[in-house]
A and B are shown apart, each in its own frame.
Chain A
Amino acid sequence: MPATRHAFFTSEFLAQLERLSLLSRRVFRGRVRGERRSLRRGHSVEFCDYRAYGVGDDLRYVDWNIYGRLDRLHVKLFVDEEDLCLHLIVDASASMNFGSPTKLDCAVRIAAALGFVGLVNLERVGVGVLRDRVAEGWPPTRGRSQVAGLLDVLAGVGPAGGTSLNEGLGNYAARARQAGLAVVISDLLDPAGYESGVRALLERRFDVHLVHVLAPEEMNPELAGDLRLVDSETGEMRELSMDGDAVRAYRERLRQFLERVETFCRTKEIGYHRLASDAPTEEFVLAQLRGRVLV
């Protein structure tokens, strides 16, 4: 856990981030004018279409050149620009407190990077923290001035309690006032699964991206001997003798688990990104997410 909000990123990284913006595969209806194309026709500088003049239309938008040539009145339509709402949903359950740096650290840094990009580009950025079924967090806010607040919120996220991804995500989806780009950062290690929560987001027409953070020890367990394994969230114990069979079985289950996640994401058109918690966050954000989430 970084001690201060400024320890999140180097200035160099921030400078790189400033040049990026968020990419959404879907066009959302925004609240206020923003820098993003909207479905609505509006008053931007970008021409979109013509339509016949109706009574009451602003005469300023009548195309006089066409009137002169065709002797008909036509009104120019322009693309309207609105803002995008970015939802950063971070799993902060106890299971995220593994690896070095911890998965939660990694998740927070990614969330911070994305939030920074969003705020800088005049988007709304909201944070949801999944912990013990409830999604608490930071309501969507916009404005560059909010960067410090966002970082403070993220710095205050600590691992505790169990997770119920389904309920947390469902909750969040139900409470969100405005759908948008949702980036779920989690290890997805929930015995109950995560699918119905993600589906709830999709039903609210969120553009969902899943950042799957796994600790290296989870990908490649290095346990040995007769152990009593304790689940960090439920406290459940399981006695296990670590031998080749056990490790092989673990690997097989892990492979199946990841395969299931990938299949799920592929079929639901969810952006899926996996990283190990000890991988450098900057590189992940600049290389992996660029072109998928960020532009």
Chain B
Amino acid sequence: MSFLAPFALTLFALSVPLVLLYFLKVRRRERTVSSLLLWPTSLRDREASTFFQRLHRDPLLLLQLLALLALALALARPVATVMGQGARKVVVVLDTSASMKARDVSPSRFEAARAGAAALVRGLGEGAEVMVIEAGVQPKVTAALARDRERALAAIRAAQARDLPTRIQEAVRTARALVAAEPRAEIHVFTDGAFTLPQSPDVADPRVRWVGVGRHGQNVAITSLSIRKNYYGAFDYQAFVSLVNYSVEPQTFGFRLELDGKSIAEKEVTLEPSVRRSMVLPFSHSGGGTVTARLRIDDDLAVDNTAYAVLPPPRKIAVLLVSAGNLFLEKVLRTDPQVSLEVRTPDQYQGGMGDADVVVLDSVTPPRAGPGRFIFVNAVPPDVPLEVLGRLERPTIMDWDRAHPVMRHVEFAKVTIEDAMRIRPLAAGRSVVEAVGGSLIYALEEPDRKALFIGFDLFKTDFPLRIAFPLVLSNTLRWLHPAGLDQSSFQFAAGQPILLPAPHGVTTVTVTTPSGRAVQGRVTRGMVSFTETDETGIYTLSTSRGETRVAVNLADADESNLVPHPLPAASGHGPAAAPVPDYLAQLDGNVRGLKIGLPREYFENLTGETASLIARAVDRLDPEKHLPLHSAKSRAQSRF
């Protein structure tokens, strides 16, 4: 309990003058009597002379003090925050996943859920506390637990279904965590049930009541779209599309693949129920663009009828080769169609990256390499955390890391090397090729520097003559600078954060969502990140160094399958319980035609008033006298 006006309590200090007043002597009239012999030795004035005796003896003073205390307390305006015993705590969990946009319930599942939630909140009595949680990718509390129903209703009205996969279980877990062990709490989950719930304490909690809004699902979905570059041919692509029919009937529909609005493939597809079909559609294209896959069908869920993919503009990797002259390196780098090569002599290079994406140092040791992406061939600049211990004569290759991206498709067994640097790494990284006595090729990964160290002279080995050499170089360039080359890095699932390496020197990024909203993204440690991918479509990331576009697709087979699974039955009296027939409504009807059973043995041998009353009731209900009971009754009566 606290007080709104605690200063009023000082009023109680008046009790001090009150008590003092009380102890003031009464001015008494003097009266002479013949003798004091018969007068009592005083009833209280004399006996109760000490302070506390007096207080104790005087109920009047106590009453006055109590009245003063009550007055002071009342003026101090005490307030008590009481958890009402009977108050309900209701948590409304709204499923905002993509499947809630399905239109099998008019106007949509989400609208139905919202209406149900609003009705539930409006129907709550005074004092009930309501919380609203949107089950997005992250559960979001849009209205904290409070008695403010209007706020809860506003939160429900403001809720929107997103193009997101279902994370209902996390939301339920959040709700349970927020209401803790409160036994009177109710968690109402409004969802379509288009998912499979695992067995967990969240599902088994009796306080959770599941409210299903979905009925059936007639849906055909594109569950994946990816574009791959052909291994050969610089401009040849393959589109990989998966289509699934989640309906119970066969569906025939038109499929169309567009590139920047122009159709590049069109097909009539018929899918049997619950059948997945994957298609590979090759096409050629130079330069960037947007690939869109569309289904022309009117099904319950529109979001998964379109899928997007982005073809990055054919930007080449700028490679700076610092070398006194190395035919092998120059030849291999020039052959790669995605590399634009610049060659400098060692005296033209003072360290750093310049404008290049990757710098290759061939037996050149600049005073300082600095941050960036490097390939060090037979060279260790002083600021690179590698310690040179000496030389390795004819090192024997023991093993190589086949899982490392740099060693993809590479066979290193037969490579012979005359001699190599014997190094000891001083920072994090991975040994890619290991020989007896040390690492031959080492992948360095520092916060601001990524580099591959090749510890031997290319002229003292047969490595450049082997097929492994161009592969290692090609893999290394793509490992060092992945976003420039790989299509898959421009495609994200809805709800997944967009994470892209930021170009050198970029600090701010503006993200334009498919609906045209501009949001500031974050740049941390050389990566652009953006988390609110709750719409499908093309997101544009604008930086001072140009624009990058990425595609966000639902691409979630579970979400596209709209068929509601049975929800856990609410134990007790949840809203999901079976509807109770309204017996009261039938009370005013006519009894004509109703069968009324009277067990004969109960009414035989009745006497007196009871017998006559029952006979009258039977007569009234059965005027045609079908009842053999009647005769039995008259018989019984006649006996008495």
Can you list 16 pairs linking A and B with CB atoms under 8 Å apart? Answer: A94-B34, A95-B34, A98-B34, A187-B34, A191-B35, A191-B37, A227-B28, A227-B31, A228-B30, A229-B39, A230-B33, A234-B36, A238-B36, A239-B26, A239-B45, A240-B40
Check A58 for interface membership: any CB of B closer than 8 A. Answer: no
Q: Would A189 and B39 count as touching, CB distance under 8 A? A: no
Determine, out of A174-182, A248-256, A261-269, A287-295, the stretch whose residues face the partner at the interface.
Answer: A248-256
How far apart sit A249 and B31, CA to CA, in the bound complex (Å)?
A: 18
Counting chain A CB atoms within 10 Å of each CB, the highest count among B26, B27, B32 belongs to: B32
Known contacts A226-B29, A239-B28, A249-B43; decide if A231 and B35 are in contact (CB<8 Å).
yes
Number of interface residues, chain B, beta carbon within 8 A: 21
Q: Would A228 and B28 count as touching, CB distance under 8 A? A: yes
Chain A residues with CB under 8 Å of B28's CB are 226-228, 239
Shortest CB distance A218–B (Å): 6
Check B348 for interface membership: any CB of A closer than 8 A. Answer: no
Q: Would B45 and A240 count as touching, CB distance under 8 A? A: yes
Known contacts A189-B38, A253-B40; decide if A241 and B33 are in contact (CB<8 Å).
no
Check B42 for interface membership: any CB of A closer than 8 A. Answer: yes
Number of interface residues, chain A, beta carbon within 8 A: 35
How far apart sit A240 and B32, CA to CA, in the bound complex (Å)?
A: 12
Check A245 for interface membership: any CB of B closer than 8 A. Answer: yes
Chain B residues with CB under 8 Å of A225's CB are 29
Q: Would A232 and B38 count as touching, CB distance under 8 A? A: no
How far apart sit A98 and B42, CA to CA, in the bound complex (Å)?
A: 22
Residue of B nearest to A247 (CB): B40
How far apart sit A222 and B26, CA to CA, in the bound complex (Å)?
A: 20
How far apart sit A225 and B451, CA to CA, in the bound complex (Å)?
A: 111
How far apart sit A253 and B44, CA to CA, in the bound complex (Å)?
A: 17
Chain A residues with CB under 8 Å of B27's CB are 226
How far apart sit A246 and B41, CA to CA, in the bound complex (Å)?
A: 10
Shortest CB distance A163–B (Å): 9
Chain B residues with CB under 8 Å of A233's CB are 35
Check A49 for interface membership: any CB of B closer than 8 A. Answer: no
Q: Would A232 and B32 count as touching, CB distance under 8 A? A: yes
How far apart sit A94 and B45, CA to CA, in the bound complex (Å)?
A: 27
Shortest CB distance A261–B (Å): 12
Chain B residues with CB under 8 Å of A227's CB are 28-31
> Does more than half of chain A's interface fall in helix, strand or loop, or is it mixed?
mixed
Check A257 for interface membership: any CB of B closer than 8 A. Answer: yes
Counting chain B CB atoms within 10 Å of each CB, the highest count among A97, A241, A250 belongs to: A241
Residue of B nearest to A238 (CB): B36
Shortest CB distance A147–B (Å): 31
How far apart sit A96 and B40, CA to CA, in the bound complex (Å)?
A: 20
Which of B29, B30, B43 is the one whose CB lies under 8 Å from A246? B43
Chain B residues with CB under 8 Å of A228's CB are 28-31
Check A12 for interface membership: any CB of B closer than 8 A. Answer: no
Known contacts A240-B42, A241-B45; decide if A189 and B37 are in contact (CB<8 Å).
yes
Chain A residues with CB under 8 Å of B36's CB are 191, 229, 231, 234, 236, 238
Shortest CB distance A165–B (Å): 12
Known contacts A189-B38, A239-B42; decide if A229 and B26 are in contact (CB<8 Å).
no
How far apart sit A234 and B28, CA to CA, in the bound complex (Å)?
A: 19
Q: Would A241 and B26 count as touching, CB distance under 8 A? A: yes
Shortest CB distance B517–A (Å): 88
Q: Would A232 and B31 count as touching, CB distance under 8 A? A: no
Check A223 for interface membership: any CB of B closer than 8 A. Answer: yes
Residues of chain B from 20 to 71 with CB closer than 8 A to chain A in the complex: 26-46
How far apart sit A230 and B45, CA to CA, in the bound complex (Å)?
A: 16
Check A282 for interface membership: any CB of B closer than 8 A. Answer: no
Chain A residues with CB under 8 Å of B40's CB are 240, 246, 249-250, 253
Check A215 for interface membership: any CB of B closer than 8 A. Answer: yes
Chain B residues with CB under 8 Å of A98's CB are 33-34
Which of B35, B44, B45 is the one whose CB lies under 8 Å from A232? B35
11 new A-B contacts at CB < 8 Å, known A218-B33, A240-B40? A97-B34, A98-B33, A187-B35, A189-B37, A190-B37, A228-B28, A229-B33, A230-B30, A240-B39, A246-B40, A254-B38
Q: Would B32 and A230 count as touching, CB distance under 8 A? A: yes
Q: Would B39 and A226 count as touching, CB distance under 8 A? A: no
How far apart sit A215 and B33, CA to CA, in the bound complex (Å)?
A: 11
Q: Would A215 and B34 count as touching, CB distance under 8 A? A: yes
Q: Would A250 and B39 count as touching, CB distance under 8 A? A: yes
Q: Would A238 and B39 count as touching, CB distance under 8 A? A: yes
Which of A97, A236, A245, A253 is the one whose CB lies under 8 Å from B38? A253
Residue of A nearest to B26 (CB): A226
How far apart sit A257 and B38, CA to CA, in the bound complex (Å)?
A: 8
Shortest CB distance B21–A (Å): 15
Shortest CB distance A113–B (Å): 23
What 3 A-B pairs come out closest when comparing CB atoms? A189-B35, A95-B34, A249-B40
Q: Would A189 and B42 count as touching, CB distance under 8 A? A: no
Shortest CB distance B25–A (Å): 9
Chain A residues with CB under 8 Å of B31's CB are 223, 227-230
Counting chain A CB atoms within 10 Å of each CB, the highest count among B34, B36, B37, B43 belongs to: B34
How far apart sit A236 and B42, CA to CA, in the bound complex (Å)?
A: 13
How far apart sit A94 and B40, CA to CA, in the bound complex (Å)?
A: 21
Shortest CB distance A18–B (Å): 35
How far apart sit A234 and B33, CA to CA, in the bound complex (Å)?
A: 11
Q: Would A250 and B35 count as touching, CB distance under 8 A? A: no
Q: Would A250 and B37 count as touching, CB distance under 8 A? A: no
Shortest CB distance A24–B (Å): 32
Chain A residues with CB under 8 Å of B32's CB are 229-232
Shortest CB distance A190–B (Å): 7
Chain A residues with CB under 8 Å of B35's CB are 95, 187, 189-191, 231-233
Chain A residues with CB under 8 Å of B38's CB are 189, 218, 250, 253-254, 257
Chain A residues with CB under 8 Å of B29's CB are 225-228
